[in-house]
A and B are shown apart, each in its own frame.
Chain A
Amino acid sequence: MKSNLKVFLKGIIDVSPLMIPVVPFGLIFGVLAIDVGFTPIETMAMSLIIFGGASQIVLLQLFSGGASSLVIISSVGAVNSRHLLYGAVVSEHLSDLKLIWKIIISYFLIDQAFAISNEYLKKNKDHNRYFHLVGGGATCWVIWQSTTFLGIILGAAIPEKLGLSFAVPLTFLALLVNDFRKFINVIVIIISGLVATFGYNYIPFKAYVIVAALAGLFTAMILTRKNKKV
């Protein structure tokens, strides 16, 4: 069996390639948060407390649009719901873990660490295999906090003319690259996008994110059902 440190280091090495896109994402977040009107300390606290790129960007986007807190919080919840599927996969590997470890690991359970450690957990059954997940998560943590910090500092120096807020839709677009090849996904993407765009001014309380997501899921339900009958 490998030592705890070795497994931890392996987690760091394995997750490193996935950190490249995290760097611009963190920078953009830092810059935009200041731009939208959060103080540097609040911005840093968001990265420390929430520690989730998509959640934090959605918070900014809706906050700047003047959405109410309740709508912002439920939209963040909706964005996170995409992780529930992971739960079904990852809980299998972590079922014999002590509760205290589950409480700690939950903080580090982000997309990148999960994606990498899932492979490792499948192949290794050593009782210290979780250190791999902690290693990957800790790496993301360091990158995310330091790029947020850098973004806060750079924010003042970056001219507004560059239109860096356009990086937000691009980042989310990038998260969908694998879905553009699937027909049903493309339909769902178009429906959700159209509902959000045309409902932007008409759906009350800026709840357009949730309404559009539900419309998209409903479309997916109908299309996948039809698929089966054929």
Chain B
Amino acid sequence: MSNWALILYCGLITYLTRFSMIALIKKEMFNDRIREILSFVPSAIFPAIIFPAIFINDIGLIEIDDNPKILAAIIAMFIGIFSRSIIATIFSGLASYWFLIFVV
């Protein structure tokens, strides 16, 4: 598949999700149980992107020793928990990462 087709399909599926949200889905369609499970979707899907991006190195192997990303991510997580700020989380993580690779 060409890059263009890939972009179009990803756009289409994103758009259709949004359209179905306001045009097809009705409140009655979800009972409390389904709603409860759906509320866990972000917690279930985002770590699948976060963890490999931190622990897997450029050649596809798990790297625990000598990996400054782990400590930087932990610092960012605590800043996030206490500040509840998206921007503080991102920047504290990047700042700690740069501190660890350039200064330490």
A140 to B53, CA, bound (A): 27
A224 contacts partner chain B, Cβ-Cβ < 8 Å: yes
CB distance from A173 to the nearest CB of B (A): 6
Q: Which of chain B's residues have a CB closer than 8 A to the CB of A77? A: 13, 17
A190 to B13, CA, bound (A): 28
Determine if B35 and A180 form an interchain contact, defined as CB atoms under 8 angstroms apart.
Answer: no
A208 to B83, CA, bound (A): 31
Determine if A84 and B45 form an interchain contact, defined as CB atoms under 8 angstroms apart.
Answer: no
> For the complex, would chain B's binding face be called helix, strand, loop or mixed by DSSP majority?
helix
Determine if A73 and B54 form an interchain contact, defined as CB atoms under 8 angstroms apart.
Answer: no
Binds B, one of A5-13, A55-63, A147-155: A55-63
For window 45-62 of chain B, which residues contact chain A by CB distance below 8 Å?
A: 45-56, 60-62
Q: Which of chain B's residues have a CB closer than 8 A to the CB of A63? A: 6
Determine if A69 and B6 form an interchain contact, defined as CB atoms under 8 angstroms apart.
Answer: yes
With A42-B4, A168-B49, A170-B76 in contact, do A216 and B14 touch (Cβ < 8 Å)?
Answer: no
A78 to B10, CA, bound (A): 11
A108 to B21, CA, bound (A): 12
Determine if A192 and B45 form an interchain contact, defined as CB atoms under 8 angstroms apart.
Answer: yes
> For the complex, would chain A's binding face be called helix, strand, loop or mixed by DSSP majority?
helix
The interface centre, meaning the residue of B17, B20, B45, B91 with most chain A CB atoms within 10 A of its CB, is: B45
B103 contacts partner chain A, Cβ-Cβ < 8 Å: no
Determine if A83 and B48 form an interchain contact, defined as CB atoms under 8 angstroms apart.
Answer: no
Determine if B52 and A208 form an interchain contact, defined as CB atoms under 8 angstroms apart.
Answer: yes
A228 to B98, CA, bound (A): 45
A15 to B54, CA, bound (A): 31
Determine if B21 and A84 form an interchain contact, defined as CB atoms under 8 angstroms apart.
Answer: yes
Binding site for A on B (CB under 8 A): 1, 3-11, 13-15, 17-27, 29-30, 35-56, 60-62, 69, 72-73, 76-77, 80-81, 83-87, 89-91, 93-94, 97-98, 101
Q: Could you list some 15 contacts between A and B, CB below 8 A?
A: A21-B87, A21-B90, A57-B49, A69-B5, A88-B26, A102-B19, A105-B22, A110-B18, A163-B101, A168-B53, A172-B50, A173-B93, A189-B46, A200-B56, A216-B45
8 nearest interchain CB pairs? A216-B44, A87-B21, A193-B51, A87-B25, A49-B11, A193-B47, A212-B48, A220-B40
